[in-house]
Amino acid sequence: MAISAHIDSRGPGGADGAPARIAGAGSILQLIRSGSAVTISRIAATLGVSRSTVTERVDLLMSSGLVESDGETQMGRGRPSARFAFRPDTGLTVGIQLGMSGSRVAVTDLAGEVLTSRTVDVDVATGPHVVLDAVCEAVDDELALVGREREELWGAAVGVPGRVELATADVTPDSPSWAGFDVAAHVGAALGVPVRMGRDVSMLALAEHRYNWPDARVLLCVKVGTAIGCGIVVDHRTIDGGAGLAGEIGHTAVSGSTAQCPCGNRGCLNATSAGAALLPRLAEMGVTASSTREIMRLALQGDPTTAQLVRQAGREVGEVLAGAINLLNPDVVVVWGYLADARDNLLAGIREAVATRAVPPATESLTIARASLGEDAGTLGAATLAIEMLLEPAAIDARLARRAG
């Protein structure tokens, strides 16, 4: 990770209006957080500034609670050097994952460690006000549960379902539509903190990359649930596209399918292979199931008809995914959702189709794996997004400047 900073104690302030004695403290914190430079001399050498300048900024970081002494380290023949460490318990973040039939919130420290989390059973059909107010109330409840105060909350991030899914949600008549609703502004006003927003599949991809596949340059996370979508991480950052629609593979046509999709088109992957689409297909095969979870349960119990259908759905997902693999050449594809947990039926179908449809060089070193972070994956990704926003160097300099008054 390349880190650079302009630290000049001679002028009136930094690039973002931070006083000169503060400017650059955020870059020093970034070095300490990453562990790449944790002593005064090492930080000074890395940034090309004087030891006295670094000492002044480190003192500010310590007085703000962001950095603490972490013992000493021997460097050469001289006296031991003081070592410094990041204090993630100084502030809190909230990761929020909105789902079509339920949402989840997690309170984390500034390192992304989950302190508490819970599911909020509220359907998107009740509309944005009801859903978001219930989620924000749950945040307050979780803060109280772990004995923390709202004032300790630094920021939040929200993962939302794809725009197409929200736009076609059957919202109650007395509620505003999700289309065009400013989710970040509503949550920010309710919690009193800055809020970032992203797609739910992007949050899943971000979490998988950070916690399980940090060395992957390109990672795709395919969510197979009520709908199907794909989160994309390239060089540690999510790719959402110009209109936030990158990775909407659920609205790519499947060969031979004429199924009607809520988006208005026919033959979409969502209309053929998503959880909701499999229920009537399974019924036609003589097996009754009421939900995607029940399909998973039947497959886990070894029902051959269900296993056959889930594997076929995997082939259909893999057929579409092969095009994305040819386009983006990922190192890792992670599959998330209840159907991915149905033994290896879904993944086997995906691998089978990818092997025959993707260009061979793109699959030689490709890993296709089941997601492993469980129900907190989306909230972990959202918390990661919030932490990136809150701890970027300019944001830290601005926070210290506000604190200095």
* Cβ–Cβ < 8 Å for 377, 336: yes
- Tell me, what's the pLDDT at 10? 42
Which phi and psi angles does 104 have, rounded to 5°?
Answer: -140, 140
- Tell me, what's the pLDDT at 167? 55
- Tell me, what's the pLDDT at 7? 57
DSSP, residue by residue, 17-78:
S-BTTTTTHHHHHHHHHHTS--SHHHHHHHHT--HHHHHHHHHHHHHTTSEEEEEEE--TTS
Q: List the one residue out of 88, 31, 90, 95 whose CA is nearest residue 57.
A: 31
* Cβ–Cβ < 8 Å for 25, 396: yes
Number of CB atoms found within 10 A of residue 139's CB: 24
Measured CA distances, 229 to 204, 273, 332, 338, 386 (Å): 11, 12, 16, 14, 22
392 DSSP assignment: S
Q: List the one residue out of 26, 34, 31 whose CA is nearest residue 6.
A: 26
- Tell me, what's the pLDDT at 166? 57
Number of CB atoms found within 10 A of residue 385's CB: 25
80 DSSP assignment: P
The amino acid at 324: A
Measured CA distances, 310 to 286, 314, 400 (Å): 15, 6, 53
Number of CB atoms found within 10 A of residue 369's CB: 14
- Tell me, what's the pLDDT at 253? 93
- Tell me, what's the pLDDT at 11? 40
Average pLDDT for consecutive 10-residue bins of the chain (405 residues)? 49 50 89 94 93 94 94 71 94 94 94 96 89 97 96 96 61 64 94 94 96 97 92 94 89 91 92 93 93 90 94 96 97 94 90 96 96 93 96 95 83
- Residue whose entry in the numeric block shows the structure tokens 């998503």: 274
pTM: 0.87
Domains along the sequence of the chain with CATH: 1-86 (1.10.10.10), 91-199+379-389 (3.30.420.40), 213-371 (3.30.420.40)
Number of CB atoms found within 10 A of residue 17's CB: 12
- Tell me, what's the pLDDT at 165? 60
93 SS3 class: strand
